[in-house]
Structure formats: structure tokens, C-alpha cells
Amino acid sequence: MSRPADCTPGLEDADIVLVGVSRTSKTPISIYLANGGVRTANVPRVPGIPLPHQLETLRKPLVMPKTSRMAWITARLV
């Protein structure tokens, strides 16, 4: 199974691209950032489906991986 080539339009227009599995708060973060004028895009990470090739060639946006593992996050904040 693969993603259609055009399923991620607008990634180049985003200021931040959030990538992560379900339940890592991508949408609430996007809404919060949008209220501050930041354009975001959400890319779901689905096992068995490759990430869009556009992520490798983006020039402008910051690509932010999201994780639900709190220990992973906490270990990197210290």
C-alpha cells in the first residue's frame, strides 16, 4: 500500500510540518499555532505506508516529528 502522489498538497506552503502517529496531538498543536498565524501541515505516520517523498525535498518548512512516548520526550529535555 502506498500514498497517492498528490495526497500531501501544500507542504511547501507550511511554516511547520508535524509528522507523527495517531494521538500525538498534531491537530491541537496545529490549531494553536494557526491562532498565532503559523501555517502548519499534518502528515500521519502509518505503519506500512511510506512517508511522502516531499518531506525529503522541503526547503522552507520546519519538519517536526511527534511521538507519544513521554519518556522519549522527557529524556531529551533534560
Give the C-alpha separation, 66 to 70, whole Å.
11
pTM: 0.69
Per-residue model confidence (pLDDT) at position 57: 85
State pLDDT tens for residues 52-70.
888 888 888 777 777 666 5
Regions in the chain scoring below 70 on pLDDT: 1-9, 67-78
Per-residue model confidence (pLDDT) at position 37: 92
Backbone torsions φ then ψ of 77, nearest 5 degrees: -90, -20
